[in-house]
Amino acid sequence: MALPDIRFTAPDPAAIAAHPGLVAVFGDLALDAEARRVDRITKGALTRALTSDAWDSVPEGEAMVLAYPSNMAASAILFIKLPRRAEASVLRKAGASVGKALKTEGALVLAKAVKSIAPLVEGAALRAYSYARRAEAPKAPGAITFCVNDPDHAVAAAREVLAVAAGVHFTRDLVNDPANILTTTEFAERLVALRKLGLEVEVLDEPALETLGMRALLGVGQGSDSPSKVVVMHWKGAEGAPFALVGKGVVFDTGGISIKPASGMEEMIMDMGGAGTVAGTMMALALRKARANVVGLVGLVENMPDGKAQRPGDVVTSMKGDTIEIINTDAEGRLVLADVLWYAQERFKPSGIIDLATLTGACMVALGYENSGVFSNDDDLCNALLKAAQAQDEGAWRLPLGPAYDQLIKSRMADMKNAGGRWAGAITAAQFLQRFIKKDQPWVHIDIAGTAYPASDTTFAPKGASGWGVRTLDALIKARFES
């Protein structure tokens, strides 16, 4: 879904009473000047709300809805609790309150008193998202018009956050799309279309992957009619060694021969969430013309049971040359990432590398839907990532690595096995990936199994794909290379 139409205008007293959709105003212990104007029009409706017991229970950034206010054409007043010196996180939440309530008639946001407009706009743009593939297309939401003192300044201030929000929406569309629509070929074509934004995009097909020796990745997809691919996206906004982002792109995961239970399998359309996040981040960097050199690589496969499918007990050889005993064909994402991680290092010699994957149910058991699991061999890069996630209100929590966990993936016949059993499943998956990271290569692995596709709506997204990670990675890159 495209971003909603977002506009900026100077305050217009006549527009307040005439707007047919939502009118959003702000208050905390008192009403700001625009809210007082609305209060006069409605003969004290906001004053009564402000002094009610119900207002005390409204959290900061959230809204009380006053439906069909008198003397106004509006369907509702969205009365948002906002402190005078609200932090960015509260402003984003306030914007999300507008985006969530947005209907076809649009919204008029009286933001003259808001000192920092960008996070307010960001929250509205992020939350004003919906996804559906019904016969009758849903009605598009109306425009969100922000009334501000200096519209030109607001346009400039909001440019970058809107670019990132567009990347988030792109990620959500990819993750929400069903696998009969988002095949590996369709996914690659959508990424090739990003060339129009200035990205260099290259698609490696199965013969090329075979030549490179990516037999761990190819083994995952050999039971599917959809051809396996690796797509490389490069944004050259600066000189020097690139920073690398790597994403798992399993467009559908049946588990293969180690087939998953039928119940809930339909949600495995989201198993390409890591690749979706990398794609959305690369789009955001290109849209905002980031002054950074970043390469994004995604491994696109489908894991299906078939007469040609990989079996438990098979041994495959990775691009690195290490052999892997297949214990469970449902532990497939690490096989995809292993080859793409090695290829990224061999070809690009990156200054740092971050991979993202909906990798393990074990991470969801540990952290639920609130936090992504973070693993790293480099404290500086990891701490920078965690700081960026916190600033963007995206939950992330560091989990350990250690040599003792290697014993759980020790194979009697190969260099390693692809599954370590019931205990510490998220850690053994990360420990597996670390074997494909070169010495002295700064690296972070992020397990987004819970955060990519939460079970219910969140502050910034309806139920379904969240787009987790696009804002965090963009903020990390900005702080690391552009500040």
Active site residue 248: no
| The one-letter amino acid at 338 | A
C-alpha to C-alpha distance for 366 and 363, rounded to whole angstroms:
5
DSSP annotation of 395? -
Strands 315-317 and 323-325: antiparallel
Q: How many CA atoms lie within 13 A of 212 on its CB side?
A: 22
Strands 200-204 and 229-236: antiparallel
- Catalytic pick among 7, 36, 190, 260: 260
Active site residue 334: yes
Q: Which residue has the tokens 């955060």?
A: 451
Distances (CA, A) of 43 to 20, 32, 78, 200, 376: 19, 16, 16, 58, 59
DSSP annotation of 479? I
- Catalytic pick among 215, 248, 334, 478: 334
C-alpha to C-alpha distance for 350 and 339, rounded to whole angstroms:
15
* Tokens representing residue 373 in the block: 């699991």
- CB burial of 236-274 (b: ≥16 within 10 Å; e: otherwise) equals ebeeeebbbbbbbbbbbbbbbbbeeeeeeeeebbbbbbb
Percentages of the chain per state (helix, strand, coil), in multiples of 5: 40, 20, 40
Strands 352-357 and 293-303: unpaired
Which residues are catalytic, by number?
260, 334
